Structure 1
């Protein structure tokens, strides 16, 4: 019973502190009175539930929500932080890999998302390194998303042996 109180407890404390500080106009935290902060609070509550109550299935939503909230806070404040779809996929990959660390499930998904994130984040550099700017290969390279779709259909249709 105690384990089921962690998530709502953190949510109530976090939201209460958020709205209290917002009402009092506590100026040092003014930039944080936004919806990404609420994502961070909910993600943090999931992570407290996951690690505090040993409910490791809560790791994935915790990392995703906290990661997205952190991303939206940091993206316009740090020049080195990428504002790219690959960042979101990297956060999801991290969630799967951290969950795998505790549950033993989700390694394949984590690695798949990690590879996809690397491809998206470093696409231009990979193309440059591989010298794929030649016409024939670069035309074929444009169709890699179709390969992802075909592999996805394979996983949906293929029967487990």
Structure 2
């Protein structure tokens, strides 16, 4: 049973704690009094709504907001944390996979985004392992964004076509 009071309850508690700590001006928490913390509060509220309130569609935005907030907190504090576009896509992939775990929907998108994140995060290593620096295949690296656009367009139009066929 979905409980619609979990999300606003967590938001109010989280923002209350945030503003209380901001007014208290404690040096221990000064580094957390930033907008990424607010992203994380909203994301955690979505996650609580998703898991505790059994509103499983809230898992995806919860993971995205919590993950993005976490990323912005640690990217300049941990030297091992990558500062690349692939991190954001990896967080989105994680959101789809966690939602799939509860709903059974989103596996394809999760795996697709996970593959794209791995490619973006490890692009240089993959290319050096495969020895694709030279040759015609290396020219593909200039056109992979166009390939993403084509795949995305085909997914959009194939879905619309399937929906029209279902309606008939």
CA shift at 1:103, angstroms?
Answer: 0.2
Q: Structure 1 runs of 4+ off > 6 angstroms? A: none
Residue 89 (structure 2) pairs with residue 66 (structure 1): no
CA shift at 1:137, angstroms?
Answer: 2.0
| Partner Cα distance (1:46, 1:153) in 2 | 30
Partner of 1:93: 93
Q: Give runs of aligned pairs for residues 1-161 of structure 1, distance below 5 A.
A: 3-158=3-158, 159-160=161-162
TM-score w.r.t. the length of structure 1 is 0.96
| Partner Cα distance (2:30, 2:151) in 1 | 46
Partners of 2:40 and 2:69 within 8 A in 1: yes
* SS of alignment partner, residue 5 of structure 2: helix
Is there any run of 5+ residues in structure 1 with no aligned partner, and where?
A: none
Deviations 1:55-85 (A, max 9, x none): 1110000000000000000101111100000
Deviations 1:78-113 (A, max 9, x none): 111000000000000000000000000011110110
CA shift at 1:2, angstroms?
Answer: 7.8
| Partner Cα distance (2:101, 2:2) in 1 | 24
* SS of alignment partner, residue 3 of structure 2: helix
CA shift at 1:143, angstroms?
Answer: 1.0
Is there any run of 5+ residues in structure 2 with no aligned partner, and where?
A: none
Give the length in aligned residue pairs.
161
Cα RMSD for the two superposed structures: 1.4
| Partner Cα distance (1:131, 1:9) in 2 | 54
